[in-house]
Amino acid sequence: MTGHDGWLPESAELVRPYVITRGRGLPDDEQLSLITLVTASADHAQRPTRLSPEEQNMLELCSAGYLSVAEIAGHARLPLGVVRILLASLKEGGYLVTRPPVARARLADKEILEEVLNGLRAKFG
Amino acid sequence: MTEYTANPLLWVLLVAFVATAVLVHRQRKTARALRQEIQSLTSHYTELENDYGKSVRAAQEQAEDETKTVLKSAMRTLQGLAAEQQLVLSRLQSKYGDSALLQDLLEIDHTNSQFGRRAQSIAVLCDGWLGGRRDTASVYDVVRSAQGRIRHFRRVEILSQVDFGITSRAVEPVALALAELFDNATSYSSPDTVVEINIRTVPKGICVVVDDAGVGMSDEERARADKLLASERASGVAGLGNPPQFGFAVIGLLCERFGFEVSVDSSSPYGGVRAVVLLPHDLLTAMPEKQAPAPAPLAAARTAPEGGPEAALVPARTDDGLPRRRRKRPMAIVPGSAPAPRSAARSDSEQAQVMGAFQRGTQSGRTGRPEEAERTSSNPGASSEGHGVS
């Protein structure tokens, strides 16, 4: 506040991520992976005001239906791990329901593919 | 009579008397001279003493000024480095957000914030630089920012919120003053107690009430605190004791410079100290907007009519800078659960909600009617819509 001319060109966020997570640790990878689907639980009507703005924001984001953890992280503009910590604590508090991601289609047997390839080679190659 | 005059004793007495008289007279004269001398000496001494006091004070002031200048520029360097490190940490946190490394990065961030705050406090005492420019922030965020600058931030609990913001000029000073209060509150109370923060609206502005369950302050400490907060501002770093007690000195200076009030003269219902920060109306503004409004061209582009070849019209990125998802093929939307007609400026969060609703709809369809489920899930466009991550 003296005669110094310049402010710093940019300053970091006012509220640091560790305060937003209240110093909680990262949840298990199994519990909340990047593609785990999350939605607000049905009885979220009596949502308490004690939740931080970030938590309320996330609840609102996924109140309409299932969203993946990665998508929520993208919209929340927070580091992914921080989002996972918050989601885990919301889940513990019963505000959120998670669902494992939709299983991927089973891959075709590698041997069959090789056989087909060999057959094609034999015929055309 | 002649008997008396002949008496040698009389003569002896007479001589003795005269001698005494002379002696007394002389003594008096010497005493007077001495007194005068003493007087002049005293005045001389006072003069010397005054001069000495003055020169010592001058020397002290000069030394203090020099210390201040040195400390001020040293702290400015340290503050700059801490701020720079904070930016680097922010970048690292978003880069390694999904790895276990994040936990350690958050810890480093915490230590760095404390370090920055210490440098800031010393800078304030030396009339120095307060830190980078801040945008207007909500009172709640400023309190949380202060919370992040102390060691035992987990013990601080914010119990209420208000819908007010703090002007950009006052964000840093208020955060720093609150951080010093929180630091006192957590350091002078036992580690298993909680420091409670209540934010209240009062006619004069907003009060932030900090209650700790510690041992409270002794009369002496209270007097020192009152003095530093109200009447006698600290100047420089001299007289802070060892280990130095920055807290109230820093808060007092910030109060004077930025026009808010802090009092610690009541005791908390939990037995410790209750500190009350009163933020007057001129430091307050309306609640800051959460996100910057979307630029006009984007909003215009999003008014594209339903069902058309949207891929060509919708911009490739959302306001958040995320790739916008495009429909690869037309989708059948379940009647009744269709979202409200597209408004001109749908925010990204609404967008996400709509997507989520769609996902939930297809999900319930799939689980509810098995024969329908096959048909729905055979539509790759629909099933990949809700959770498609590429």
* Half-sphere CA count of B236, side-chain side, radius 13 A: 13
Highest mean pLDDT of the ranges B260-264, B357-361, B365-369: B260-264
Task: Find the closest chain B residue to A59 by CA distance.
Answer: B353
CATH of the domain at A43: 1.10.10.10
Residue whose structure tokens are 């966020």? A13
| Whole-number pLDDT of residue B303 | 40
Bridge pairing between strands B156-158 and B195-202: parallel
Ranges assigned E (strand) in B271-320: 273-280, 284-285
Please state, for a pLDDT cut of 90, what percent of chain A lies above it: 6
Q: Which of B182-191, B293-302, B377-386 has the lowest mean pLDDT?
A: B293-302
* Interface list for A 38-57 with B (CB within 8 A): 39, 49-50, 52-53, 57
Which two tokens mark A64? Answer: 């309409």
* Interface list for A 59-88 with B (CB within 8 A): 60-68, 70-75, 77-84
pTM above 0.80, yes or no: no
| Whole-number pLDDT of residue B306 | 43
Q: Is A5 a member of any domain?
A: no
Distance, in angstroms, between A45 CA and closest chain B CA?
16
Which two tokens mark B167? Answer: 């002007």
pLDDT at B36 over 90: yes
Give how far Cα B228 sits from Cα of B170, B231, B264, Å: 20, 6, 11
| Whole-number pLDDT of residue B390 | 41
**All residues at 6 or more sequence positions from B348 whose CB lies less than 8 Å from its CB, including other chains:** A75, B318, B319, B320, B322
Beta bridge partners of B156: B195
Distance of CA B209 to the CA centre of its chain: 14
- Tell me what the mean pLDDT of segment B230-247 comes to: 72
pLDDT-derived band of residue B383, with 50, 70 and 90 as boundaries? very low
Q: Is A93 a member of any domain?
A: yes
Give pLDDT tens digits for B300-350: 334 434 444 444 444 555 555 565 554 444 444 444 444 444 555 567 777
Q: Which of B162-171, B186-195, B249-258, B378-387 has the lowest mean pLDDT?
A: B378-387
Interface touch A60/B83, C-beta < 8 Å: no
Give pLDDT tens digits for B41-82: 999 999 999 999 999 999 988 988 888 888 888 988 998 898
Which two tokens mark B272? Answer: 């410790």
Interface touch B132/A18, C-beta < 8 Å: no
- Distance, in Å, from the CA atom of B144 to the CA atom of B159, rounded to the nearest integer, reads 12
| Whole-number pLDDT of residue B232 | 73
> Is CATH 3.30.565.10 the right assignment for the domain spanning B133-285?
yes
| Whole-number pLDDT of residue B335 | 43
All structural domains of chain B with their residue ranges: 24-132, 133-285, 296-332+345-383
Q: Is A7 a member of any domain?
A: no
Interface touch B89/A12, C-beta < 8 Å: yes
* CA A102, A105, A106, A110 torsion-angle sign: negative
Residues of A in contact with B349 (CB under 8 A): 57, 60-61, 75
A contact test, residue of B111, B114, B159, B359 with most A CBs within 10 A: B359
Contact in structure between A39 and A97 (CB atoms under 8 Å): yes
For residue A58, give its domain range: 17-124
**All residues at 6 or more sequence positions from B275 whose CB lies less than 8 Å from its CB, including other chains:** B181, B184, B185, B209, B210, B262, B263, B264
Contact in structure between B110 and A18 (CB atoms under 8 Å): yes
Q: Domain tally for chain A?
A: 1
- Tell me what the mean pLDDT of segment B293-302 comes to: 38
| Whole-number pLDDT of residue B344 | 52
Residues of A in contact with B102 (CB under 8 A): 26, 79, 81-82
DSSP class of residue B323 equals: B
Interface touch B142/A57, C-beta < 8 Å: no
Task: Find the closest chain B residue to A62 by CA distance.
Answer: B353
Contact in structure between B237 and B75 (CB atoms under 8 Å): no
- Distance, in Å, from the CA atom of B348 to the CA atom of B351, rounded to the nearest integer, reads 5
Q: Considering just the CA atoms, what is the radius of gyration of chain B in Å? A: 39
Q: Is A10 a member of any domain?
A: no
Interface touch A11/B83, C-beta < 8 Å: yes
Q: Which amino acid is at B281?
A: H
Burial of B62 (0-12, 13-18, 19+ CB in 10 A): exposed
